[in-house]
Amino acid sequence: MKKGSICGMLAFALAAGFVAAAQEPPKAEAVLRFDEAKQEAAADIPLSQVAADTAGRRPFAYKLNRRRVSEAKAYDAVTLWNVRRVRIKNRRMRLSDSTRREKVRLLKFFTERDRRKGARPHLLGNVAGYTWSEHFYDEAVCKWRDAPRHISTYTLRSEYDSVRLAGGEVSLFDVPRELWRQLTPEAVYVLDGERVPAGIFQFIDGLILRTLEIHTDSATMARYATAEGVVMGDIYPDRTPLVVVEGSLSSIEEWLKMCQAGLFSVSSAVSMRYYYMLPLEAVQLYGRAGKFGAICIEMAE
């Protein structure tokens, strides 16, 4: 390995999480994924099928795999990854706090009984592990500077596997320094063909992000008019949540177009908040179309 400048060596050591001096920024967030994904297919439900009467006045009752359960149990048990079907019925049922049958909205959730099938798939792509940061090391002045949230270091799956298969000492929590690569805040992020802020990748990782690839070859970088690297990814096409913008139903595609047009930002300077709504609450509000939950975007007051 060629020796670089003292500043360059110090920047690499700090970014990779090794010995740091007083210049070290807040600890980076590391994410490691190594297993293969197991994807369960499920048909999309068009937004046009959202039930118009889900916001009615009837109280809710719940069944999980045909067994009556409490709201709390259904809320915790039904996830984006294990839900298979949802049915909504008008029924007369006895609620736990009543002695007579009442008109209710019965939400019937059917989930995977096999925990392995209902588990969250692991991330695909050429990246084995990566760290998030809001700082970068400026080698010109040997100083840390603030930057938008971005992937600062990463390891390639092929290199990690090569060391592991060769009998090298490598583990999920102790990746050799030589395997870490650096990425600058100026790298381009592309999700399903649309340029997006880097923070979008962090928000949907573990949610709907299926693949994460980082490319630094000249052909790929030239395609996106950058010399700083390209982070590419796609989402699961068959388990996409609703997108609700300021109370109005939208879609993942429209959300990505908003990102491309600069109308959506994850920067703290923008008064905007976004969160993921779990399937039970989304079905209560939006009917069966909410069975995969909802990504909610609101302008902060």
pLDDT in tens, 159-203: 877 766 666 555 555 677 888 899 999 999 999 988 888 888 988
User: Mean pLDDT throughout 32-50?
Assistant: 35
Confidence of residue 12 (pLDDT cuts 50, 70, 90): very low
> CB-based contacts of 52: which residues, under 8 Å, 6+ apart?
287
Does pTM surpass 0.85? no
Distance CA 52, CA 287 (A): 8
Query: How much of the chain, in percent, has pLDDT values that exceed 90?
Result: 36
Identify the pLDDT of residue 256.
Answer: 81
User: Per-residue pLDDT tens for 118-145?
Assistant: 888 888 999 988 999 988 888 888 888 8
Confidence of residue 298 (pLDDT cuts 50, 70, 90): confident
Mean pLDDT of the chain: 77
Contact 252, 235 (CB under 8 A): yes
Q: Please state, as a whole number, how many other Cβ atoms lie within 10 Å of the Cβ of residue 282.
A: 27
Distance CA 41, CA 267 (A): 34
User: Per-residue pLDDT tens for 55-91?
Assistant: 456 889 999 999 999 999 999 999 999 999 999 998 8
